A = this chain, B = another copy of it.
Amino acid sequence: MIEIPNWLANRAYLTPNRIAIKSKGQEITFIELHQKVLRTAESLAFQGVKKEDIVSVLMTNSLEMIQVIHALKYIGARTVLLNNRLTKHELLWQITDSKSCLILSEDQFLEQLNLNKNEGSKRICTLEELQMSPVKGIGFEYQKEFNLNDIDTIMYTSGTTGKPKGVIQTYGNHWWSAIGSSLNLGLKENDCWLAIVPFFHISGLSILIRSVIYGIPIVLHEKFSADEANRSIMEEGVTIVSVVSKMLTQMVQDLEESRYPTSFRCMLLGGGPAPKSLLEDCKIKEVPVYQTYGMTETASQIVTLSPEYSLSKLGSAGKPLFPSQLRIEKNGEVLEPYEHGEIVVKGPNVTKGYFHRSEETEKAIIDGWLYTGDLGYLDEDGFLYVLDRRSDLIISGGENVYPAEIESILLSHPTINDAGVIGIEDQDWGQVPIAFIVTKEKIAIDEIIDFCRIKLAKYKVPTRIYMVDTLPRNATNKLQRKKLYDYILPEGE
């Protein structure tokens, strides 16, 4: 059992006057952030939040969201980070499944998603209510230490089952992820990380955590704009940025003939395979791209390619971070270089399992090794090449889209008898989902799309829906999604 000091509170003690956050022309030091977080934690305590309570957070990237995320750690509560692009239907699943006792939400989501304050007997607390909570006289003691085995955050992902499940991320998972990254990228006194990916994803949350562990500032943008992101790199001393392909494509276009300053040292590119043309553009424009492979279950990066290999190992995701391990398996055998199989990983950054899902945990994690479901191979030097994110996973604009989840929504429509979903290439989003349905009676496609929009986040709604007579299923009635590619008609037909 390892206990280490509360990260932000420790920073406020060790390096109080270093900048923690730059946002909208404002600079906040670690001691100032600590004081704000302490105030927020007191408000949460007033709202009845206690150690080990489960609290869902539905917010957009902002200083307030950062405060809430740290404040929940100060209380020792467990934070469910809700993707704010989800529908009411999807949100309620995660809130109920996690047994959250409170939902902290911005006003905009209450209205937008039509969440009634007492729906499903969940208690909702708006930011405004939180900020207005009295704090005087609260006998509140914040967590001075974090136990690395304790649960810090929970993030939902789907997978093959259709029902999203909560990935447990302990304090230790986040700690080791941050340390593994620093041993790979180094740590300089002028480092500054640009936060333009959502904090409800591990790519964004891990930036917040690195900031307090490393003692470096983040530059916070509430929304992504290629132009603004480039300006921060050019003018605000940003040295590292986390991006997905779609964002990087826009940034490189926006860059035109300009070049980033030499102090800018790392464009950390995750969220699925990158198009080669993009990597070549980056080479020409001297953008220091580090390709990376990671997932919610590994608390961010687990394999990263450094730029010295970006050409000689083009297309590779790199080698594992120092504390982690990697192998390729098929039918229980560890494979040799160049043999294709499942990517299996191990390390102290890897989740201990799915929240309240011991069966799924036992299937995914065996002897400390996580079976990712992704396909890949190693070359003779041990560099990883990812062939396919889970055989059926669709990655759209950096968001994971699981066919099984969309299919289960389609099947819940009264006139749909059978459904199959696959991803197709898309210039803007990398991939988008399309659907094939078998219906009892004729029905307008628009009606199905409207139905999906209520139940599914926008990026999961199929961009095309085909009505077919039957779907390809094998002898055991398992849907053969690969065969659906033969069903696609040229667009317009």
Contacts and interface: CB of A to CB of B under 8 A. Distances in A.
B213 A5 contact: no
Contacts of A183: 182, 187, 213-215
Nearest to A1: B368
Contacts of A215: 183
A111 interface: no
A323 B4 contact: yes
Contacts of A361: none
Nearest to A214: B183
A10 interface: yes
A338 interface: no
A416 to B, nearest CB: 48
A447 interface: no
A432 to B, nearest CB: 37
Contacts of A172: 2
A325 interface: yes
Q: How many copies does the complex hold?
A: 2
A322 B10 contact: yes
Nearest to A4: B323
A4 to B, nearest CB: 5
Contacts of A13: 319, 382
Contacts of A320: 14
B214 A323 contact: no
Contacts of A347: 4
Size bin of chain A's contact surface: 20 to 34
A322 B4 CA distance: 8
A280 interface: no
A3 interface: yes
Given A14-B322, A319-B13, A348 B2 contact: yes
Interface string A165-200: 000000010000001001100111100000000000
A189 to B, nearest CB: 6
A348 B187 contact: no
Nearest to A381: B16
Interface string A117-156: 0000000000000000000000000000100000000000
A182 B346 CA distance: 24
Main secondary structure of the interface of A (DSSP, over half): mixed
A448 B347 CA distance: 58
Contacts of A182: 182-183, 187
Interface in A16-55: none
A39 B214 CA distance: 38
Contacts of A368: 3
Contact of A319 (B2, B14, B323): B14
A347 B320 CA distance: 27
Interface string A208-221: 00000111000000
Interface in A310-339: 319-320, 322-323, 325
A360 to B, nearest CB: 23
A188 B190 CA distance: 11
Nearest to A346: B3
Contacts of A5: 322-323, 325
Nearest to A5: B325
Nearest to A189: B186
Contacts of A145: 325
A188 B186 CA distance: 5
10 contacts: A3-B346, A4-B348, A5-B322, A5-B325, A10-B322, A179-B179, A183-B187, A183-B213, A186-B187, A213-B322
The 4 tightest CB contacts between A and B, nearest first, are: A4-B323, A186-B187, A187-B187, A2-B348
Interface of A: 2-5, 10, 13-14, 145, 172, 179, 182-183, 186-189, 213-215, 319-320, 322-323, 325, 346-348, 368, 382
Given A10-B322, A188-B188, 8 more contacts: A3-B368, A4-B347, A5-B325, A179-B179, A183-B187, A183-B214, A183-B215, A186-B186
